[in-house]
């Protein structure tokens, strides 16, 4: 591994590019921080006395629980499908991604509907055995399990790519050195995949910390629910923004600590998966593997989607009108163009990190991907306020026709970019890390310039990561609510907007139809992803 | 070809259509399925188009504020008085002088300063399990705090504005100290952690997890329409003449004309029509609410629940005292 690399490009140019991307995120950050100009000491003192102690504990428990939950589910399934062979492996390989398309709050509502005291399970138990008391599902335990089931695909998808390219090789190397298979997994393959696992867990954690919908369904109070309480119930947007900046600072610290703890290590690809054989599971271990994958898929997808279908069926004739085609099309156009924008920007940002030798670069990258840590509606306002301000400025100078920004798709797509850059950047950056410097050197020695190196060497090697990033972003935008609600032009209602319309007055059964449509639209990129993945990894 | 279509639609969306004189723009926190039928009917009768966008109240108000004098919105529509009061307090609405609105809407259901107007009435009342409670056991909201309901009460979360408005009205009627004791009593009586919505709380009552709950009547109507055999019934509390808090707590779904409306006259005409005999049934019945206009009879499903005496304090108090109510519920441990 070369210690010093020759400068082939002006590093300052890369830094400037990364700064420009980060500047987009700094806009809502600045609006949020500006709230400190309006001190809310008395209100915050009230929250600190009566609300914060419990919900800080709640938030920490939730974060820890979900990190462990998505880690265990995601890594185990990724290992099984990427490296092992067991009955149903090919099916589970793609099917385990499907829960990605199901919004967590929808899963939460179905879980409560089925498992709460008045739900069918407990009612049937009572009918059969008299008074039976099951543990309360609307609880810390229930919310952790629900979010783990909803968010494990982030870890699964990213870790599977890592295992598929290096897992079996690592294991073989470990075994040739006399390690057992088990020790090989825990001491070699797992540590080697750490950047990818961490990237997935971090996405799940940011999503969890900023989540409002699922928390509302479970009535579980976290830091983010307090932010919304300050805004919607106590009518103080400044107090909400101040609390939000504390949350974002916390996430930033978390990201930096994780980054530091592995800063000394270098990760690179160790070989081609195509040349290695899968570990063939048999007997009890094969049954266990299929059973585990099947159980996760059943709980996280088959049961909730069946329930949604049962709810949607009776209202199909009434609600499924010609407008649905429009909602569907709007969702696809927004998610598709948003995903393209996010992935392209992610490549630029990741590349800037690789090429620039500026010591500030990791910080710039961390800031640029902070949008995912914002509670959605706070980010939406943080973006909308400056846009409206700019619009007003233009209108004052050039007349009413100049006010074209707000209510245009450009603002909407930029807002998606700010929100979801982390989702695209995670897979792209960790994919880029797997391309060793020696490959760069080889390409350079063959006379490749930076541009041809990117186009002919890196992008093909990154293909799996790019498709992963695009899929995650696409599905996330499909499910996104607050930004879509606030920035959509008149008439641009999407499937997520339909879900909002139905759920905000508690009509969950009627929300099943648009929720199902989101799932169906989300399956399309999962299929594309699988087709690509199979070609890439065999 | 498809790339062309995409580009075209992007360009099209880039340029917002200009507001025309025969058009009213509405920012609505009331759901699309509850307002679109009305706006369609209005367009059919008058030829005036109504363009609208839906979102939660908080973001809609933040949006109005950010857009300031260049907002496209003429009307702000919400589903509770608290948010309308807040919008008026932040200077987002304008006073409207309209004899028609004054005649159609009872005084306690509109702003004393004429900045907002109730368009439908939502009663928050007691629903109980017929097999486990005799109506004679029930009396008032306050009584649900008494020890006889220990382990028998279910409530929706305190985060919902309907409960905040109820507690705000209780503060107005009973004073802060007494209200806090009552809310603490409610919390002590809970059989299960607070629910995310009224329907779940009623399902719990029906299943026997608890015996009574507090809900808006249209949730009861919707649930019974779907599951008519549930052992649930409505009770109207605080009906006795000597009740400290007189009458059932009512809230409104309502609207105001924005301060920077481009078509204020058109906005007022729309509100006047919405409060008229022509529109009131459509407005209220689509969601099993009560018409605000006393000359209009409610839907027959709604009428079957019986008539009741409502609390006549101006709903403006619910907005004014909302933050006080939220803090009180925090202190009482009502989540």
Q: Token pair of A489, please?
A: 């032009």
Pick the closest to residue B196 from A219, A509, A111, A213 (CA basis): A219
Pick the closest to residue A144 from A49, A71, A95 (CA basis): A71
Q: Which residues contact B93 (CB under 8 A, 6 or more apart)?
A: B76, B84, B87, B115, B116, B256, B257, B258, B259
Residues 37-66 of B with CB under 8 A from A: 51-59, 62-63, 66
**Chain A residues whose beta carbon lies within 8 Å of the beta carbon of residue B198:** 506
CATH topology of domain B21-121+251-299: D-Maltodextrin-Binding Protein; domain 2 (3.40.190)
Mean pLDDT of A361-376: 91
Q: How far apart are CA B300 and CA A213, in angstroms?
A: 35
B43 burial via Cβ count (<10 Å: 0-12, 13-18, 19+): middle
Q: Token pair of B288, please?
A: 């099993």
Residue A538 has what pLDDT? Answer: 35
> Do the domains spanning B21-121+251-299 and B123-249+317-332 agree at the CATH topology level?
yes
Predicted confidence (pLDDT) at residue A3 exceeds the cutoff of 70? no
SS3 of residue B83 by DSSP: helix
Longest dimension (CA), chain B: 75
Residue B12 has what pLDDT? Answer: 47
Predicted confidence (pLDDT) at residue A285 exceeds the cutoff of 50? yes
Pick the closest to residue A382 from A487, A506, A247 (CA basis): A487
Range of the domain at A293: 11-537
Contacts A–B by Cβ distance under 8 A: 153
For residue A175, give the DSSP letter.
H
Q: Token pair of B307, please?
A: 């008539």
- How many other CB atoms are found less than 10 A from the CB of residue B28? 25
The dihedrals phi and psi of A85, each to the nearest 5 degrees, come to -125, 125
pLDDT (tens digit per residue) in A332-368: 999 999 999 999 999 999 989 888 878 888 889 999 9
Mean pLDDT of A447-460: 82
- How many other CB atoms are found less than 10 A from the CB of residue A360? 11
Place of tokens 């009428």: B303
Q: Which of B200, B205, B209, B263 has the highest number of chain A CBs within 10 A, making it the mutation to test binding with A?
A: B200
Q: Is A303 part of any domain? A: yes
**Chain A residues whose beta carbon lies within 8 Å of the beta carbon of residue B157:** 219
Q: Which residues contact B71 (CB under 8 A, 6 or more apart)?
A: B63, B64, B258, B260
Q: Token pair of A432, please?
A: 């880029």
- How many other CB atoms are found less than 10 A from the CB of residue A456? 12
The pairing of beta strand B290-291 with beta strand A84-85: unpaired
Facing A217 at nearest CB: one of B86, B196, B326? B196
CB contact A380 to B (< 8 Å) = yes
Mind telling me how many Å the CA of A406 is from chain B's nearest CA? 9
Taken as a whole, chain A contains a residue count of 538
SS3 of residue B234 by DSSP: strand
SS3 of residue B276 by DSSP: coil
Q: How far apart are CA A237 and CA A187, in angstroms?
A: 49
Facing B67 at nearest CB: one of A228, A406, A492? A406
Mean pLDDT of A53-62: 96
> Per the CB < 8 Å rule, is A488 touching B53?
yes
The pairing of beta strand B75-78 with beta strand B249-257: antiparallel
Question: What are the percentages of helix, strand and coil residues in chain A, rounded to 5?
Answer: 80, 0, 20
A309, A519 contact by CB (below 8 A) = no
Q: How confident is the model at residue A7 (pLDDT cuts 50, 70, 90)?
A: very low
Q: How confident is the model at residue A194 (pLDDT cuts 50, 70, 90)?
A: confident
Residue B285's alpha-carbon distances to A77, B205, B280, in angstroms, are: 51, 26, 8
Report chain A's terminal Cα–Cα distance, integer Å: 29
Higher pLDDT, A259 or A130: A130
CB contact A400 to B (< 8 Å) = yes
Q: How far apart are CA B83 and CA B56, in angstroms?
A: 10
**Chain B residues whose beta carbon lies within 8 Å of the beta carbon of residue A502:** 31, 33
CATH value of B123-249+317-332 in 3.40.30.20, 3.30.2320.20, 3.40.190.10, 2.40.180.10:
3.40.190.10
Residue A263 has what pLDDT? Answer: 63
Which residue of chain B has the CA closest to A498?
A: B32
The residue ranges of every structural domain in chain B are 21-121+251-299, 123-249+317-332
Pick the closest to residue B125 from B184, B196, B202, B68 (CA basis): B202
CB contact B5 to A (< 8 Å) = no
Q: Is A1 part of any domain? A: no
pLDDT (tens digit per residue) in A33-48: 999 999 999 999 999 9
Q: Token pair of A525, please?
A: 């990129």
A460, A453 contact by CB (below 8 A) = no
A246, A75 contact by CB (below 8 A) = no
Place of tokens 């099984």: A80
Q: How far apart are CA A55 and CA B310, in angstroms?
A: 37
Query: Which residues in chain B show pLDDT less than 50?
Result: 1, 8, 10-12, 14-19
Facing A234 at nearest CB: one of B195, B323, B335? B323
Which H helix or E strand runs over A146?
Answer: helix A140-162
CB contact A486 to B (< 8 Å) = yes
Residue A22 has what pLDDT? Answer: 95
> Per the CB < 8 Å rule, is A235 touching B323?
yes
Pick the closest to residue A26 from A382, A416, A478 (CA basis): A382
CB contact B221 to A (< 8 Å) = no
CB contact B87 to A (< 8 Å) = no
Residue A9 has what pLDDT? Answer: 47
Mean pLDDT of A283-311: 96
Report chain B's terminal Cα–Cα distance, integer Å: 54
Q: Is A6 part of any domain? A: no
Query: Per residue in A286-311, is it b (16+ CB within 10 Å) or e — as a string?
Result: beebbebbbebbebbbeebbebbeeb
Q: How far apart are CA A64 and CA B157, in angstroms?
A: 25
Higher pLDDT, B160 or A191: B160
For residue B292, give the DSSP letter.
S
Report the DSSP beta bridge partners of residue B52. Answer: B26
Number of domains within chain A:
1
- The CATH code of the domain that includes A27 is 1.10.3720.10
Predicted confidence (pLDDT) at residue A159 exceeds the cutoff of 60? yes
Taken as a whole, chain B contains a residue count of 335
Residue A199 has what pLDDT? Answer: 87
Q: How far apart are CA B222 and CA B229, in angstroms?
A: 13
Angle at the Cα of A158 from the Cα atoms of A200 and A169, rounded to 5 degrees: 125
Helices A237-261, A194-210: inter-axial angle, 10-degree rounding: 170
SS3 of residue B78 by DSSP: strand
A220 burial via Cβ count (<10 Å: 0-12, 13-18, 19+): buried
- How many other CB atoms are found less than 10 A from the CB of residue A512? 27
**Chain A residues whose beta carbon lies within 8 Å of the beta carbon of residue B72:** 407
Residues 302-321 of A with CB under 8 A from B: none
Q: Token pair of A481, please?
A: 């609510």
Residues 106-165 of A with CB under 8 A from B: 112, 116-118, 122-123, 136, 138-139
CB contact B228 to A (< 8 Å) = no
Predicted confidence (pLDDT) at residue A222 exceeds the cutoff of 50? yes
B318, B82 contact by CB (below 8 A) = yes
Facing B66 at nearest CB: one of A219, A232, A388? A388
Mind telling me how many Å the CA of B218 is from chain A's nearest CA? 10
Q: How far apart are CA B18 and CA B23, in angstroms?
A: 10
Report the mean per-residue pLDDT for chain A: 88
Give me the DSSP letters along A293-339.
Answer: HHHHHIIIIIHHHHHHHHHHHHHHHHH--THHHHHHHHHHHHHHHHH
Which H helix or E strand runs over B126?
Answer: strand B117-129
- How many other CB atoms are found less than 10 A from the CB of residue B106? 15
Report the mean per-residue pLDDT for chain B: 93
pLDDT (tens digit per residue) in A228-274: 999 999 999 999 999 999 999 999 998 888 877 776 565 655 555 45
Q: Is A3 part of any domain? A: no
Which residue of chain B has the CA closest to A140?
A: B193
* Cα dihedral B131, B137, B141, B144 in deg (nearest 10): -80
A171, B227 contact by CB (below 8 A) = no
Query: Model's pTM, two decimal places?
Result: 0.92
**Chain B residues whose beta carbon lies within 8 Å of the beta carbon of residue A118:** 200, 203-204, 206-207, 209
Residue A536 has what pLDDT? Answer: 47
Q: Token pair of A465, please?
A: 């990561």
Q: Which residues contact A519 (CB under 8 A, 6 or more apart)?
A: A98, A101, A102, A305, A308
B152, B210 contact by CB (below 8 A) = yes
Q: How far apart are CA B322 and CA A214, in angstroms?
A: 25
pLDDT (tens digit per residue) in B258-284: 999 999 999 999 999 999 999 999 999
Q: How far apart are CA A274 and CA B84, in angstroms?
A: 64
What residue spans of chain B are helical by DSSP H? 2-14, 32-46, 57-67, 81-89, 99-104, 161-174, 176-189, 198-207, 217-226, 264-274, 277-285, 300-303, 316-320, 322-332
> Per the CB < 8 Å rule, is A502 touching B33?
yes
Residue B227 has what pLDDT? Answer: 95
B237, B173 contact by CB (below 8 A) = no
**Chain B residues whose beta carbon lies within 8 Å of the beta carbon of residue A50:** 327, 330-331
Q: Token pair of B287, please?
A: 């969601």
Facing A237 at nearest CB: one of B55, B62, B159? B62
Facing A485 at nearest CB: one of B59, B70, B222? B59
B247, B312 contact by CB (below 8 A) = yes
Residue B14's alpha-carbon distances to A6, A400, A407, B170, in angstroms, are: 45, 15, 8, 49
Mind telling me how many Å the CA of A512 is from chain B's nearest CA? 15
């Amino acid at each position: 591994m070369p210690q010093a690399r020759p400068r082939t490009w002006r590093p300052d140019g890369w830094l400037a590019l990364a700064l420009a991307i980060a500047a987009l995120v700094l806009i809502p950050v600045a609006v949020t921080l500006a709230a400190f100009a309006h001190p809310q000491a008395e209100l915050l003192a009230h929250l600190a006395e009566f609300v914060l102690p419990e919900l800080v504990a709640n938030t920490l428990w939730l974060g820890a629980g979900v990190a462990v939950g998505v880690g265990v589910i995601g890594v185990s399934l990724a290992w099984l499908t990427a490296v092992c062979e067991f009955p149903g492996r090919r099916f589970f390989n793609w099917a385990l991604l499907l829960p990605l398309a199901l919004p967590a709050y929808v899963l939460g509502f179905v879980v409560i509907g089925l498992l709460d005291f008045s739900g069918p399970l407990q009612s049937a138990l009572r009918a059969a055995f008299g008074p039976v008391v099951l543990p309360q599902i609307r609880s810390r335990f229930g919310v952790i399990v629900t979010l783990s089931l909803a968010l494990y695909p982030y870890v699964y998808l990213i870790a599977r790519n890592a295992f598929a390219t290096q897992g079996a090789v690592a294991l073989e190397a470990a075994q040739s050195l006399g390690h057992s298979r088990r020790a090989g997994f825990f001491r070699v393959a797992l540590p080697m995949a750490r950047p990818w696992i961490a990237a997935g867990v971090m996405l799940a954690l940011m999503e969890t910390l900023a989540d409002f919908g699922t928390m509302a369904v479970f009535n579980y109070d976290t830091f983010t629910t307090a932010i919304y309480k300050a805004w919607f119930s106590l009518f103080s947007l400044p107090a909400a923004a101040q609390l939000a900046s504390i949350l974002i600072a916390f996430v930033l610290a978390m990201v930096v600590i994780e980054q530091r703890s592995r800063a000394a290590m270098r990760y690179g690809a160790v070989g081609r998966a195509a040349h290695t054989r899968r570990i063939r599971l048999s007997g009890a271990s094969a049954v266990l593997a299929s059973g585990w994958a099947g159980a996760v898929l059943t709980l996280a997808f088959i049961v909730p989607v069946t329930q949604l279908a049962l709810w949607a069926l009776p209202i199909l004739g009434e609600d499924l009108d010609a407008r649905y085609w429009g909602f569907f099309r709007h969702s696809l156009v927004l998610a598709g163009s948003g995903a393209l924008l996010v992935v392209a920007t992610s490549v630029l940002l990741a590349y800037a990190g690789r090429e620039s030798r500026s010591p500030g670069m990791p910080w710039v990258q961390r800031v640029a991907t902070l949008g995912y840590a914002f509670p959605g509606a706070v980010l939406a306002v943080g973006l909308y306020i400056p846009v409206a301000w700019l619009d007003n400025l233009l209108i004052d100078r050039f007349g009413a026709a100049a006010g074209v920004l707000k209510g245009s798709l450009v603002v909407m797509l930029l807002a998606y970019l700010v929100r979801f850059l982390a989702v695209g950047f995670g897979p792209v950056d960790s994919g880029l890390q797997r391309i060793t410097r020696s490959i760069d050197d080889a390409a350079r020695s063959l006379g490749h310039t930076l541009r041809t190196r990117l186009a002919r060497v890196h992008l093909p090697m990154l293909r799996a990561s790019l498709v992963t990033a695009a899929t995650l972003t696409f599905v996330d935008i499909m499910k996104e609510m607050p930004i879509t609600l606030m920035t959509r032009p008149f008439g641009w209602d999407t499937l997520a907007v339909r879900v909002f319309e139905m759920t905000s007055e508690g009509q969950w059964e009627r929300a099943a139809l648009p929720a199902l449509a989101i799932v169906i639209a989300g399956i399309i990129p999962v299929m594309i992803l699988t087709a690509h993945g199979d070609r890439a990894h065999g | 070809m498809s790339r062309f279509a995409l580009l075209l639609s992007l360009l099209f969306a880039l340029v917002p259509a200009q507001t025309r004189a025969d058009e009213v723009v509405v920012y609505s926190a009331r759901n699309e399925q509850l307002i679109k039928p009305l706006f369609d009917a209005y367009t059919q009768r008058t030829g005036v188009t109504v363009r609208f966008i839906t979102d939660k109240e908080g973001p809609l108000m933040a949006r109005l504020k950010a857009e300031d004098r260049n907002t496209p919105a003429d009307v702000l529509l919400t589903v509770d008085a608290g948010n309308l009061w807040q919008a008026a307090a932040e200077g987002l609405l304008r006073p409207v002088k309209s004899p028609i609105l004054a005649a159609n809407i009872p005084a306690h259901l509109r702003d004393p300063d004429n900045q907002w107007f109730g368009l439908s009435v939502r009663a928050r009342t007691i629903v109980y399990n017929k097999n486990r409670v005799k109506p004679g056991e029930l009396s008032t909201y306050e009584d649900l705090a008494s020890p006889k309901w220990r382990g028998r009460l279910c409530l929706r979360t305190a985060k919902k504005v309907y409960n905040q408005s109820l507690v705000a009205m209780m503060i107005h009627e009973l004073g802060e100290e007494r209200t806090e004791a009552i809310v603490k009593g409610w919390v002590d009586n809970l059989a299960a952690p607070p629910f995310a919505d009224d329907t779940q709380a009623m399902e719990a009552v029906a299943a026997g997890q608890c015996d009574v709950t507090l809900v808006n009547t249209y949730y009861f109507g919707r649930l019974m329409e779907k599951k008519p055999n549930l052992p649930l019934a409505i009770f109207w509390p605080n009906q006795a003449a000597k009740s400290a808090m007189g009458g059932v707590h009512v809230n409104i779904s309502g609207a105001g004309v924005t301060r920077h409306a481009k078509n204020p006259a058109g906005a007022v005409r729309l509100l006047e029509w919405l409060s008229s005999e022509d529109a009131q049934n459509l407005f209220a019945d689509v969601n099993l609410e009560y018409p605000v206009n006393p000359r209009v009879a409610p839907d027959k499903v709604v009428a079957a629940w019986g008539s009741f005496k409502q609390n006549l304090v101006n709903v403006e108090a619910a907005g004014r005292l909302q933050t006080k109510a939220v803090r009180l519920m925090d202190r009482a441990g009502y989540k």
